[in-house]
Each structure stands twice: as structure tokens, then as C-alpha cells.
Chain A
Amino acid sequence: MNPQEPPTDEMRPQDPVTEQLGVVPPEGGLVAELERMSPEERAKHEAQVAAAAATDREITVGVGDTLLELRDLTMRFGGLVALDSVSFSIRRGEILGLIGPNGAGKTTCFNAMTGVYRPSSGDVLLEGQSLGKRKRFDITRAGIARTFQNIRLFGEMTALENVMVGTDARHRTSVPGAVLRLPRHYAEERAGTDKAMALLEFVGIADRAADKARNLPYGYQRRLEIARALATEPKLLCLDEPAAGFNPAEKDDLVALIRKIREDGYTVLVIEHDMRVVMGVTDRIVVLEFGRKIADGKPEAIREDPAVVAAYLGVPDGSA
């Protein structure tokens, strides 16, 4: 999946975590292990992974109708207007880019959508339903999942468990069920583990499944956040600067990953500063500046938009 091999286990001659686990990873890491498998084994394994990663939720409506709508969303902090009646909508199945200068209000927009902040005015509608009064966890269950600009993982949990917390959003076992180990507990637990593992593989970090999240390098942590968000089976996946801290090659992988996510039927909203990523992956782009929407259109149009160039892009992107 990557022209450059991801760091393998060779660099970690002794990993205390996996050691404590009593499972020293197979020599050469997971990848090597997969390679060692016989074709049948391999096929079976991949079928398992694919089945587990596929979302259970059927997509009832075709691509195109509105999934999420922001209506005159305004967010004030004291005298500061971080969002100034911003309206736009996201259609099912699309990848929407949200860009703008630093401090334009992009993250604030995420926060207002996911219930971290209560909007000062305006409303957010998911499939026509207002999210205004709903609790944060409920919004997630309703179908919006996100990653964080400043990574927020459960540091002491393993990568796998981090993702399982995400899968739990769709589980219903509560205390009595867990205490008494009811059948549903088993079913959910098993399904959750499988799915989580598959997701880790999907984002390419399965070989560190048993490491504490805290100990993962920055780039891995970002991917883990994506896997965790995906695990909640969102209708809309919101990524806040997913490519930050990636090198160009890794960014290419990320673009491929986001495309794959979309192909699996997710709708994606992505904040990103890297124009190659933005242009490479989005179907449509919304541009914010000083809390106001200044443009909304296809990537090609946005690239040419003089207002956007002035406010944001500056000299045509030279990094590519």
C-alpha cells in the first residue's frame, strides 16, 4: 500500500507492551506474517477483514440529497465572532473540503456541529433533524464522527481498544448485560473486536494494534483517530487536518484512504491546509475567512477564485 515500507517491528527489538501481552509479534511484523500465509489463508483472512470493515448500515438514498445542513450558524466568544452566519450543506456521498486561513473558524464549525460548543445562533440539521439540543454523544450516535486537530486519543488504551470505544457507539450492552455476560455481550464484543481490527488494517496501522496509543508516532495517531471515528459508523465523517504531520508520500496514501472511505459509502467533510490533498480529494470546497463563507464551489473554480487566492492561497502552491 505504501511505496515506502511502514516502520516494521525490526526497529523495536523488544516492545514491552506486546511482551506483557504474552504475544511477541511474529517476526517481521504483521505484514510479513500476512505474506507467509498460504493463498487460501490469505484470501480467507482478507475476506474476514473486508466483511468486518464494511459498514452494517445500508445506504438507503442515493448520492446527492442533502445530508447535513448548516443554517446561519453563528458562534461568538465574548466580543469575538468566530462564525458569522455560515450556511452550507453537504450532500450524501460527497467529499467536501473546508478551507480558510488560520483562525477562520473551521474548527469552530466542527465544534458547533458536534455539540462541543452550543451555537450562539443558527442551526445544524442532519437529515433534516436539528442537532441543536442534542448531547454530544448523541450527535455521534446520530451519525457525525470526527477527528481532532490536536489529537485526542485515549493514551493509556491500546490502539485496538481506542477503536473499540468507537464501535461501542453502536452497541447496546449496558451494565446488567455486561455483569451477567448475556449473549448480546458476546456477540457485540466479538463483532466489535473484529471490526476494530479490520479498521486498523484499513488505515494501515494494524501492526501496532496492541501498542498504547500514547506511544505511537504522530502520524500513526492521526490514522488511529480516523479509524476510531470510522468505527462509530458515521453518516458523516469530519476530519480536522488529517494530513498534518504527514510527508507528501504519506499524504498521497491519505488521499487514497479518504477516497476509499468514500467508496465505502461514507460522506466526508475535511478541513485541510494542504492544497494537494484538498484538490486531490474533494468534490467541492467551502472557504471561510474571518468566520464568513467567502466561496463555495468545485475545486477548480476555487483554485481560480481571486478572493480565495488573496485570502488564503497566496502565491500559487509551490509545494507540489
Chain B
Amino acid sequence: MSTATAAEGVTVPFGARLRNWWGSLDRWQQWGVLIPLVALIYLLPVLNPPLLTTEPGTDFQITLFNAARIALIAIGLNIVVGQAGLLDLGYVGFFAVGAYTTAVLSSPDSFLTTQYPWLVCVPIAMFVTAVSGLVIGAPTLRLRGDYLAIVTLGFGEIVRLLADNLDPLRGQRGFADVPGPEVTRADGSAVFTSSDGTPWYWLTVTVIIIVLMLVGNLERSRVGRAWVAIREDEDAAEAMGVPTFRFKLWAFAMGAAVGGLSGSIYAGQVGYINSQGFDVITSILFLAAVVLGGSGNKVGVILGAFLIVYIPDRFQVIAQYRFLIFGIAIMVLMVFRPQGLLGARQRLLTYGRQAYQRLIGKGEQISSESALQKHGNGVAQ
């Protein structure tokens, strides 16, 4: 299905170029880039850069927070879709479970008589969501491809409809006054309020960094390999001794837990949730973040999430056209970058690099990738 490209005319994919460049840096150079970059990311809400800002239409800090929470979701969904290749159209269900668990545990509107602090709710919410991932996954994961997609879509809708229909979950009346972390400033005012996005953004970015590291560990392991194998050819994977069902369940549960975490953070930030806003469209937008950024590429999906939130918010000022712009932007982006903003191969190549290195008997080091990259570059020059 692909067309030929003459050798000379080939453009090196942007992602690959970026990667090459990154690979060509020394370890300390990499840190030298990474630290200011992370610092810049943290500083964004304070800098509120003139061209980038979404104001006056929308509060930039809150937009950033929303982008961050969607990024967290995209990272979770990327495990399921990008890594294991399980098309999940109902991922919003996990987000909802996380948010609702938090709300039920902490909101005064809840049928529970005790209200727990937010920090206690978060791990519980993650756990409950992971379990819900197992509950949904166990019966459905033997379905293949798009049958799984529509079933997950169905489950996502069922979660929303249960929230809508079941009395204790309060439908559109919702749960108000979901608290955030109880941190106060010197003057006694709360740090985490719903109208100030900055602390929430910082919190979420920190969570993202931690999750990225953990998920990255997974991807660079037997587990990640098994996921990709399942994505590529489930039967062959099974024949090679991969317990496909178990690993698919793990993918579902891990993905769900991350989604639940995001839901929990979200509930704390807005302080009010009801059964609206957990619909199919939202779910598909999550997926759009993943695909737009580059399914399978963690950094890519973060970028994708940012766009999904940012584009409509940026055009708040012409509200009537913003979703039109958004829709067209998606189409255009996909045509020009069909592999997503960043391609997906980054992780897998590290193995090749390591092994290749060792094979030709030079790099003895396996634990540190950057050492190998550095070395590899040495060969290239």
C-alpha cells in the first residue's frame, strides 16, 4: 500500500532525525538538554508564553493541567493500544471509574458516611480501576481486533450509563466538593484549588514523569516484548510460549490503573463530577491523542494529548469554529504525519543497539543505554 520514494527524495522522518540527533549526544549532553527541557515544562504555567497561551479564551494554567491529565491518560491507553495492540474505544470508562471512586470516597454528597482525604482515595481509585480492568478484560480479551474495540466501547458506555442510572451514583446531579490534597500555604489558604491550575499541573507532570519511568521499564522488558509480539501476531506469540491472555490482561489492568489515576486527579481538581463528559466522544478523543502523537511512542502520545486539549482551547475566542478547526486539524495532521507526530520505534531499537554492540565484541556494558548510544555513535562517525 505504500508508494515508492526515490532514494534521493526520501525525507528522513522527523522522529528518526530527532532520535538520531538524540543518539548522537553524549550522556552529559543529553542531561544538558533534558534538564532545561523538563524545567521549561515545569515553568510553562508561570511563563505563560504570549504566542502559546490560550488566554483570553481559556485559563492557560488549567489548559495545561487538562493537557497533562489527558497526557497521563494517553500514556495509559498507549500501553493497551500502542503496545499490546488492543483497540480500546471505551477507555473513558476507566477514567470514569477512577473519578467516581474518588468522588464516592471523598465527596459529602456520597452515600458513604465517612469522607476520606484525597491522598487516601488515589491508591484506592487506582486499585479499583485496575480491578475493573480485569473484570472487563477477562471475558472480552479473547475477542480479536475490532470486535474487542466495539465491546470495549460498549463497556465504556455501560459505565457511563450506570453512573447515569443508578441512584447512589447520582447521575447528572453528580458529586460536589471533591477535595484535593490538603496542602496549605503559610497564610493558611489551600494550594490545590480548582481555580488554580498551576499546582495541579505540577503535580500531574511529576506523576507523569514517574509513570513514564515505570512504564518505560515495562516496555524495555520481557513484558513489553510480549505485548508487541501479541500486537504483531497473536497466534505466533502464543506458539512461542507467550501467555497471551495473561499479558493482555496485564496490559488492560496497567492501562486501567493509569487511567484511574488520571480520573482521580481530575476529580480532585474540578471538585465536581457527574455522568456527563465520560461519553464515547471523549473516549475516542483519548484514542486520538495516542494516534496523533504516534501510537506506541510515549513522548509522542504526550504531544498528541497536548494537541487534543490545546487546539480547541486555543480557539476559544472563536468558539463557534473551534471544533470545526479541531476536526480539520486532526484530518490534516493525520494526512501529513500518518505515523503520528513521532514514530513508534524508539524503544525496540535499543535492544538491537545493545546486542549489536555486544556481538561485535566492543560494548560490554548492558545496563546503561546511553553508554551504548554513545558508543554506537562512535562507530557511526
Whether the Cβ atoms of A157 and B348 lie closer than 8 Å is yes
Tell yes or no: A309 within 8 A of B by CB: no
Which of A69-77, A124-132, A148-156 forms contacts with chain B?
A148-156
Tell yes or no: B50 within 8 A of A by CB: no
Cβ–Cβ < 8 Å partners of B240 in chain A:
137, 140, 145, 165-166, 168-169, 228-229, 232
Q: In the complex the two chains form, what is the Cα distance from A37 to B360 in whole Å?
A: 9
Give chain A nearest CB distance to B275 CB in angstroms.
32
Tell yes or no: B264 within 8 A of A by CB: no
Give the one of B217, B351, B359 with max A CB within 10 A: B359
Q: Could you tell me how many residues of chain A have their Cβ less than 8 Å away from some Cβ of chain B?
A: 69
Q: In the complex the two chains form, what is the Cα distance from A135 to B218 in whole Å?
A: 25
Main secondary structure of the interface of B (DSSP, over half): helix
A175-228 residues with Cβ-Cβ distance < 8 A to B are 175, 177-181, 185-186, 188-190, 192-194, 196-197, 201, 206, 209-210, 228
Tell yes or no: B377 within 8 A of A by CB: yes
Whether the Cβ atoms of B380 and A141 lie closer than 8 Å is no
Whether the Cβ atoms of B380 and A20 lie closer than 8 Å is no
B265-288 residues with Cβ-Cβ distance < 8 A to A are none
Residue in B221, B244, B352, B359 whose beta carbon sits within 8 Å of that of A189 in the complex: B221
Give the one of B19, B218, B226, B351 with max A CB within 10 A: B351
Cβ–Cβ < 8 Å partners of B223 in chain A:
173-175, 178
Residue in B250, B254, B349, B360 whose beta carbon sits within 8 Å of that of A158 in the complex: B349
Q: In the complex the two chains form, what is the Cα distance from A256 to B352 in whole Å?
A: 28
Tell yes or no: B146 within 8 A of A by CB: no
Q: In the complex the two chains form, what is the Cα distance from A43 to B355 in whole Å?
A: 18
- Identify the closest chain A residue to B374 (Cβ): A22
- Identify the closest chain A residue to B223 (Cβ): A178
Residue in B7, B23, B224, B367 whose beta carbon sits within 8 Å of that of A22 in the complex: B23
Whether the Cβ atoms of B366 and A24 lie closer than 8 Å is no
Whether the Cβ atoms of A209 and B349 lie closer than 8 Å is no
Cβ–Cβ < 8 Å partners of A156 in chain B:
228, 231-232, 345, 348
4 interchain residue pairs of minimum CB distance: A169-B241, A22-B23, A178-B221, A210-B352
Contacts A116-B239, A155-B232 known; list 5 others, CB within 8 Å. A145-B239, A154-B232, A165-B226, A193-B358, A209-B355
